[in-house]
Structure 1
Amino acid sequence: MTIKVIIFDFDGTIADTLNAIVSITNRLAAQFGHKPISQEELVQIKNLSSRQIIKQSGISIFKFPLLVGKVKAELNSEIQTIKPFLGIKEALIEVKSEVDRVGMLSSNSKENIVAFLEMNGLQDLFDFIYTGATLFGKSKVIKELLKQEKFKPEESVYVGDETRDIEAARRSRTKAIAVSWGFNSKEVLAAQNPDFLVHQPSELVEVIKSLQQAVISK
């Protein structure tokens, strides 16, 4: 079946927000009772799954949603410093010509995403933006999104940079494309068996074109 919609994660997939988020999280360490993350520890954390990271952080499960909300709020004041990954704009332009709709699904705030897209000339490349997904609740939102947009799971692809993105795609029965330029390392992403693992934005275009051509050749 033809791929009709591609849904992108935001942080670590489109926007290079990692350093800003780590900086903000470290500033909030005393308030939320977790240890600041050093650059050496960050390298190690990249090799952990999303669930392992939360467990290792030592942050109370009750405080975690509050921390995430605070990080999103503080990121708003730094959004003008955030840049898209090199080559992602060109890839988005090509991908958009291959499918009916291109969208965004993120646990970041819509305000942050819209501001980022406008500052970087990307606002016309997305047909819809869904936000507010909980840390491990993306699959539910993907299902609701597809129902609202009237797309079938087998017509859909979700693109993300973390193990939880692969998990969300699998649970919602969409194809999962994992990108290795974001938060999780290519090794830990590969261990989660995404449908595709890409290492540069141009490969996204190749994957989508190959999926479309596979359908045509049947």
Structure 2
Amino acid sequence: MITPARKSVVFDFDGTIADSFGISLTVGNQLAQEYGIDPVTPEKLERWRHMSSHDILKEVNLPLLQLPIMLHRFKAALQAEINNFPFILGMRETILELWDQDYILGVVTSNSAENVQQFLNHQGMGHLFEFVESCPYYMGKQHVLKRIARQHQLDRQQMIYVGDETRDVDAAKKFQVQSVAVTWGFNSPTTLSDRQPDHLIDHPRELLKIAAQIN
């Protein structure tokens, strides 16, 4: 008898699972000063929430050769603070219920895999996730989704990717899996809606209904 493929729910981390924004902003502005980049003010932040990830990256105007180095330093600096990140309200319970229902759970993130695994272990939930993978670039998560689907034998027709930024929606669309955009993270609901995700949700528990409808 052929065993039916298990459905999978793959998450972004920052702004989707964990409320990392305040700490990340502080760390990011400290690095910006070192690199001679203007700090992120509340006014700039509000404007960025209504812009695509690609347009934000262009506005920052950091030389491409420096971007990987800065991102590496940013992830390293976050490690000291990772255990202070709180869960998004309702996300812990939603993840536990998805796991109880035998969904494969994973993370594809621009943060480091070590940071995310440390956070999950600290929360007593590291064993719930089959994989935690880091994307080495600011854009291009679709390539990591493709690789983990192959490595873990995931059926893209029974897979959803959950994230809070336009680049998460873009990655899901390019890899041709269902995209779930969440309104509690970085990009504004209107900006996410303009990207035409398959689903736009306001609370983690809405994931349970969406996951149940995966064919």
TM class by shorter chain equals: over 0.9
Contact kept? 1:83, 1:120, Cα under 8 Å:
no
Separation in 2, partners of 1:176, 1:49: 16
Q: What is the Cα-based RMSD across aligned positions, in Å?
A: 1.7
- For 1:194, what is the secondary structure of its paired residue? coil
Separation in 2, partners of 1:151, 1:81: 32
Contact kept? 1:169, 1:176, Cα under 8 Å:
yes
User: 2:147 — aligned with what?
Assistant: 144
**Equivalent of 1:21, from 17, 20, 24?**
24
User: Following TM superposition, by how much is the alpha carbon of 1:89 offset from its aligned partner in structure 2, in angstroms?
Assistant: 0.5
Separation in 2, partners of 1:207, 1:138: 22
User: 2:123 — aligned with what?
Assistant: 120
Change (3 A) 1:29 1:100: closer
User: Following TM superposition, by how much is the alpha carbon of 1:99 offset from its aligned partner in structure 2, in angstroms?
Assistant: 4.5
Matched, 1:46 2:82: no
User: Following TM superposition, by how much is the alpha carbon of 1:135 offset from its aligned partner in structure 2, in angstroms?
Assistant: 1.5
**Equivalent of 2:105, from 86, 102, 105?**
102
Structure whose residues are more often helix by fraction: 1
Contact kept? 2:5, 2:155, Cα under 8 Å:
no
Matched, 1:90 2:86: no
Structure 2's unaligned 5+ residue stretches are none
User: Following TM superposition, by how much is the alpha carbon of 1:208 offset from its aligned partner in structure 2, in angstroms?
Assistant: 1.5
User: Following TM superposition, by how much is the alpha carbon of 1:111 offset from its aligned partner in structure 2, in angstroms?
Assistant: 1.6
TM-score (norm 2): 0.92
Separation in 2, partners of 1:70, 1:133: 12
Separation in 1, partners of 2:7, 2:136: 22
Separation in 1, partners of 2:53, 2:69: 17
Change (3 A) 1:64 1:133: closer
User: Following TM superposition, by how much is the alpha carbon of 1:98 offset from its aligned partner in structure 2, in angstroms?
Assistant: 3.6
User: 2:79 — aligned with what?
Assistant: 76
Contact kept? 2:5, 2:154, Cα under 8 Å:
no
CA deviations 1:154-188 (Å, max 9, x no partner) are 11111111100111111111110011111111111
Contact kept? 1:159, 1:179, Cα under 8 Å:
yes
Separation in 1, partners of 2:135, 2:201: 26
Tell which deviates more after alignment, 109-118 or 131-140.
131-140
Pairing of 1:152-171 with structure 2 (within 5 A): 152-171=155-174
CA deviations 1:27-52 (Å, max 9, x no partner) are 11222121001122211111111001
Structure 1 outlier segments of 4+, above 3 Å = 97-100
Pairs aligned (count): 212
The alignment-based identity, stated in percent, is 34
TM-score (norm 1): 0.91
